[in-house]
Amino acid sequence: MASPRDLTRTAALPAALLVAALLVAGVALAGCGSGSDAEGTTTTKADQIQGIVRDEPLQVGDLSLPEVAAGDTETPFAFRADDGKLLFVAFGYTNCPDVCPTTLYDIKKARKQLGADGDRVQVAFATVDPERDTADVMTQYLGSFATDGHPLRTDDPDQLHAAQDGFGVTSSVVKNADGSTDVSHSARSFVVDDQGDVVVEWSFGTGADVMASDLELLLAQQDGAS
């Protein structure tokens, strides 16, 4: 029975089991349906910000990084949302299969949840690994999560560090003798308002539901303030 050949797939279930299957189908589907239940977030509408809010907000509006586009054009991009909007910012690298796409996918989902207001949330992703993340790679990569996203990249380590300092994050890229590269970077993400203030910070794994809830509250606050 234990020979690998005997390992049954789903097809050969006896009828009795199938009847039982109907009874628990809801359970089974719920168990499999969602790929991101790790966050354990709920959809309860919160009336307060659930991410991290500092007493003294970080001010990043005077910092900028080059925004790259296909064909190597660069335009300075300041960390300040357009009027009446919010700017999501994350630092990472494209060969990151785990942390970065999780966060970027969450913000993609969160914007979708906001409906029409999703367009009032801008998305910027800055690479900490510019050597491998060329302008073309960055443009394509971020396009998978936000077609209107702002891919940020600089070859100047000082400029990158200045921007990271502003957000209180760090990163390192270490090339190993065997040709592999170890990258570490802060997994935190940020939301900047149209004054250049960081209005909320999210730890890794915050999840789309909390992001959407926070963004909704922040957009409403910004509307009230203007």
Partner 1 sequence: MKTQTLTRTATGLVVGALLLTGCGSSDSSSSSTTAAEKTTTTAPSLQIDDVWARQSPMGTSAGAVYLEITSPIDDELVGASVPTDIAGTTEIHETVMADEGEASTTEAMGDDDTSTTEMGGGDAMTMRPVESIELPAGETVKLAPGGYHIMLLDLVEPLEVGDTFEVTLSLQVAGDRTVTAEVREG
What DSSP assignment string belongs to 78-97? ESSPPTT-EEEEEEE-TT--
Range in contact with partner 1 (rule: CB under 8 A) among 62-70, 78-86, 134-142, 155-163: 134-142
First-to-last alpha carbon distance for the chain, in angstroms, is: 71
Q: Does 31 bind partner 1 (CB under 8 A)?
A: yes
Contacts of 127 (CB under 8 A, 6+ apart): 91, 92, 93, 94, 133, 138, 151, 152, 153
Which residue in the set 87, 89, 104, 199 belongs to the binding site for partner 1 (CB under 8 A)? 104
Total residues contacting partner 1 by CB under 8 A comes to: 80
Q: Does residue 43 touch partner 1 according to CB under 8 A?
A: no
Q: Which of the ranges 64-72, 82-90, 95-103, 114-122 carries the binding residues for partner 1, by CB under 8 A? A: 95-103
- Asked if 99 interacts with partner 1 (CB under 8 A), we say yes
d(CA 209, CA 34): 13
CB of 83 to partner 1, least distance (A): 27
Max CA pair span of the chain: 71
Contacting range for partner 1; rule: CB under 8 A; set: 44-52, 64-72, 81-89, 153-161: 44-52
Window 174 to 193, contacts with partner 1 (CB under 8 A): 182-188
Should residue 153 be labelled a site residue for partner 1 when binding is judged by CB under 8 A?
A: no
The answer to whether 135 and 70 are in contact (CB under 8 A) is yes
